[in-house]
Amino acid sequence: MTQKPNPLSSIKISGPIPAHLARAVIEETLRNAILDGRLPCGTAMRQQELASLFGVSRMPVREALRQLEAQSLLHVVTHKGAVVAPLIEDNSAETYGLRMLLESEALRLSIPFLTDADIAEADGLINALEQERDYAEIGRLNRLFHMALYGKAPNQRLLKLVEHGLNEEERFLRFNLEAMGLGETSQEDHRELLALVAQKKVDESILTLRNHLMRGMEVITTYLNGLDNKGAQ
């Protein structure tokens, strides 16, 4: 029987990693491999195997895995340890409901501190999204656009929670966006949202953001239900 290739073999390490950078390097390397699909859902992240791969002790590996678990990129499974999390959870409606609360608050806190440079950055990301045809890159640009609007919120813990939700969405969009056909609608929403943010219209901006996220939730829920129905046939 032919053995399946180990997904970790897709990760290439160039030279020894300085001890003081080990945790950050491991975290970023694994994060990128999860986001771009080299480490697919369900892949086991065994500490000793990773320590050997990166040429480090298990301590920085353990710390990196904890960070990735906190970002919802890994789940801890009984008798299996840390594994790469699903692209999106079954409770997508609950996830989007939580995102509405967190992102609305982040936007509310951020708007008063946004500068013309921040608005220009967000506008540039919309322009890039309108031109981009690579679905993996679209997911990344979408995350960067939203974080450009939320990034001046002074609550750093809130921003981390927000970015974790956007990371989850980015992974999902990388592999499903083409089948869902979201592109043009998303940019119309983004342009409307940015125009209100630029005018410092906080309440109107939050309402537009919530409508945008609600539409996204409806499209994703419909898409996932369609997949479930196909699988049941």
What average pLDDT score do residues 207-231 get? 77
Of the listed ranges 1-15, 16-30, 115-129, the one predicted with least confidence: 1-15
Residue 1 lies in a domain: no
Residue 119 lies in a domain: yes
Domain count, the chain: 2
96 shares a domain with 21: no
Among candidate residues 60, 84, 108, the one where a domain is terminated? 84
Instruction: Check: CB of residue 149 under 8 Å from CB of residue 193.
Output: yes
Q: Tell me which of 26 and 133 has the higher pLDDT.
A: 26
219 shares a domain with 130: yes
138 shares a domain with 177: yes
Residue 219 lies in a domain: yes
169 shares a domain with 54: no
- The angle that helices 116-131 and 183-198 make with each other, rounded to 10 degrees, is 170
Q: Tell me which of 134 and 130 has the higher pLDDT.
A: 130
Among candidate residues 51, 84, 117, the one where a domain is terminated? 84
Residue 28 lies in a domain: yes
Residue 2 lies in a domain: no
104 shares a domain with 195: yes
Whichever domain contains 142, its CATH number is 1.20.120.530
Instruction: Check: CB of residue 63 under 8 Å from CB of residue 23.
Output: yes
Of the listed ranges 32-36, 104-108, 139-143, the one predicted with least confidence: 32-36
Q: pLDDT category, 155, cuts 50, 70, 90?
A: very high
Give the number of other Cβ atoms within 10 Å of residue 142's Cβ: 24
Average pLDDT over the chain reads 85
Examine the pLDDT at 13 and tell me if it is beyond 60: yes
Residue 169 lies in a domain: yes
**Looking at residue 1, what is its pLDDT?**
45
Residue 183 structural domain? 92-231
Residue 131 lies in a domain: yes
Q: Could you give the CA distance from residue 79 to residue 150 in angstroms, rounded to a whole number? A: 39
Cα→Cα distances 53→35, 46, 65, 81, 222, Å: 19, 11, 14, 18, 40
What average pLDDT score do residues 188-210 get? 96
**Looking at residue 230, what is its pLDDT?**
55
167 shares a domain with 206: yes
Closest to 44 measured CA to CA, from 72, 12, 70, 76? 76
Dump pLDDT digits (tens) for 21-43. Answer: 999 999 999 988 887 788 888 89
- The angle that helices 47-54 and 22-35 make with each other, rounded to 10 degrees, is 110
**Looking at residue 165, what is its pLDDT?**
85
